[in-house]
Amino acid sequence: MAHCAARMAKLRIQYENGDPERVIEFDPSKAPFGHDGEAGSFLDVILGHGLHLEHACGGNCACTTCHVIVKQGFADLSPAEENEEDLLDRAPGLTSTSRLGCQAVMQKDGEYVIVIPRFTINQS
């Protein structure tokens, strides 16, 4: 039997400040969804679905305001480049699964879970 080949990924967004969780279902092959950040990145998917994520530098890997903590799907993200690692070192509340939302691209179908930290510092 033929199956519909539509791809589908799910992004679950949790907020450290207690805001209600949001869930976005999207087809990764349709990226980009907006025009900020890497195509298919957390920032791209979030903004493209009408939700908010800080992005003081416009998604150009030059601040840390788009910092997210990845709870699920970390291994399926595009690898961080040196520039991103350097910036993350300055992000408040850095964890071992922290990424910049504008740089980390969800490369596979499946479910991703991220936490938006309570504190971000606007460096721009």
Residues at the site binding ligand FES, with contacts judged by CB under 6 A: 55-57, 59, 61-63, 65-66, 100-102
Distance CA 93, CA 50 (A): 26
DSSP-based three-state secondary structure for 104:
coil
Least separation, in Å, of the C-beta of 60 and ligand FES?
6
Least separation, in Å, of the C-beta of 37 and ligand FES?
6
Least separation, in Å, of the C-beta of 86 and ligand FES?
11
Q: Which tokens is 79 given?
A: 């690898």
Nearer to ligand FES, 29 or 83 (CB): 83
Distance CA 73, CA 84 (A): 18
